[in-house]
Structure 1
Amino acid sequence: MKLRESPIYHERQSFWLCAKLQGEVYTHADLERIAKYLYEQQPEQSGWLRFNSHKNFLGFGYYDVNVVAAALQEQQYDLLWHDRRTGIEEADLSGCTGIIVHIQPDWFFRRGHWFAIKYLDQNLTVPVVPTTYVGQPRAARSEEEREEREYESKSFEPGFWNLDSKLPHPEHIGDRDMLNAFLKKLEKKNRVHVLFVTPSNDRNSSSQASV
């Protein structure tokens, strides 16, 4: 099975663009535009330095939560923070479109990372791309070759999927109990924030008006 035949959209990360949504919605230029707009609304200043803390100053990405929230708002979605004082198993996901996880850096030179989790309510068969590592026999060396290769496929039942752009392919997490266990394990190893993507009130109003 080829990657382009997969029923799940999955975009591999380039530079520090992990904040791009998993879908053909935003380009790098779009996120730069949003970060610039946010900075112009309230520019930060430290002495003679002026900097945009919403992104990497070289333009390689590394966008903060304000850029992610603004991008979602343009698509009529809200971003809600999970209160870490309560267990993830207590969160109500009934109106949740998706989950966004942010792993904070635990030392100065390490970058934070965004990734998405989404529930898909159908049986799916996806290609399984083997993980590559230094010293491994030759694998696909270009994106084009990687896309055209035939991979083994595997079928999964409905459940939550990890769409992390650093993964070679989407990973099936499982049901709600498996999701809770996945996030709790992640929290033990990292400083993690969990955010929920929900339709905005404007989107709900538009949907009701069109019925």
Structure 2
Amino acid sequence: MNGISGGIYHEKQVKELCALHALNNLFQSRDAFTKPELDEICQSLSPHVWINPHKSLLGLGNYDVNVIMSALQKKGCEAIWFDKRKAPECLELAHIKGFILNVPSDYRLGFVLLPLKKRHWVAIRRVSGIYYNLDSKLDAPHAIGQESDLMHYLREQLDSKEKELFIVVSREVDEKHLWEKDEIIDR
């Protein structure tokens, strides 16, 4: 189910399409990407394989970071892995389009919790001056708050060794390295 909640576009989780939802939520558009487009990216990344390593064997989604990075490049953007040894305050938020957070997720078969782990993709971005967690598993966007609230939220998320943060910027911002402040702030 997709929709606008308080003027914010937010796709809800369907199958294992969290990467698709994260991308569409990040770009605030139902039409930013489609499942066939992401499947096509998978095919282009591994064209001569029977089982594609970039998505679920069952074709339900579960796309990897390579697919997300390729999709972002099609929109003139780059995903930059954030080094957790640095403090989030080193980020120049004015030049950042948003964030994609990768978090561990339990694997369930109905009500049964399996001893497998999978990954879940979450978009974070600013809309009308407020930062939002646009996790497709949420019923609605969750307001994080202003810049200081975002810094606190990102520090909490990065304290987990299993979570990874990707900064989404335009290609120009990446090339000129404008996403990071001149002074280095270590955690």
Matches within 5 A, 1:1-211: 4=4, 6-20=6-20, 21=23, 22=25, 23-24=29-30, 25-40=32-47, 51-104=51-104, 109-120=116-127, 122=128, 158-189=129-160, 191-201=162-172
Show structure 1 runs of 4+ deviating over 6 A: none
Q: Distance in 1 between matches of 2:93 and 2:150?
A: 11
Q: Distance in 2 between matches of 1:4 and 1:166?
A: 15
Give a deviation string over 1:108-139, Cα, whole Å, max 9, x none. Answer: 5121100111112x3xxxxxxxxxxxxxxxxx
Structure 1 residues 36, 164: closer, same or farther in 2, change over 3 A? same
Q: Distance in 2 between matches of 1:39 and 1:55?
A: 11
Q: Which structure 2 residue ranges, 5 or more long, are not aligned?
A: 108-114, 176-187
Q: Which structure 1 residue ranges, 5 or more long, are not aligned?
A: 44-49, 123-157, 205-211
AA aligned to 2:62 is Y
Q: Alignment identity in percent?
A: 32
| Matched-pair contact (CA < 8 Å) for 1:95–1:198 | yes
AA aligned to 1:89 is E
Q: Distance in 1 between matches of 2:4 and 2:81?
A: 33
| Structure 1 position 39, deviation (Å) | 0.9
| Matched-pair contact (CA < 8 Å) for 1:105–1:191 | no
| Matched-pair contact (CA < 8 Å) for 2:101–2:163 | yes
Q: Distance in 1 between matches of 2:83 and 2:66?
A: 18
| Matched-pair contact (CA < 8 Å) for 1:104–1:190 | no
| Structure 1 position 92, deviation (Å) | 2.2
| Matched-pair contact (CA < 8 Å) for 1:98–1:197 | yes
Q: Distance in 1 between matches of 2:84 and 2:57?
A: 31
Give a deviation string over 1:153-195, Cα, whole Å, max 9, x none. Answer: xxxxx32111110000001001122112212222335611111
TM-score (norm 2): 0.76
| Structure 1 position 4, deviation (Å) | 4.7
Q: Distance in 2 between matches of 1:201 and 1:4?
A: 30
RMSD: 2.5
Structure 1 residues 182, 5: closer, same or farther in 2, change over 3 A? closer
Q: Which has the larger radius of gyration?
A: 1
| Matched-pair contact (CA < 8 Å) for 2:158–2:165 | no
| Matched-pair contact (CA < 8 Å) for 2:54–2:66 | yes
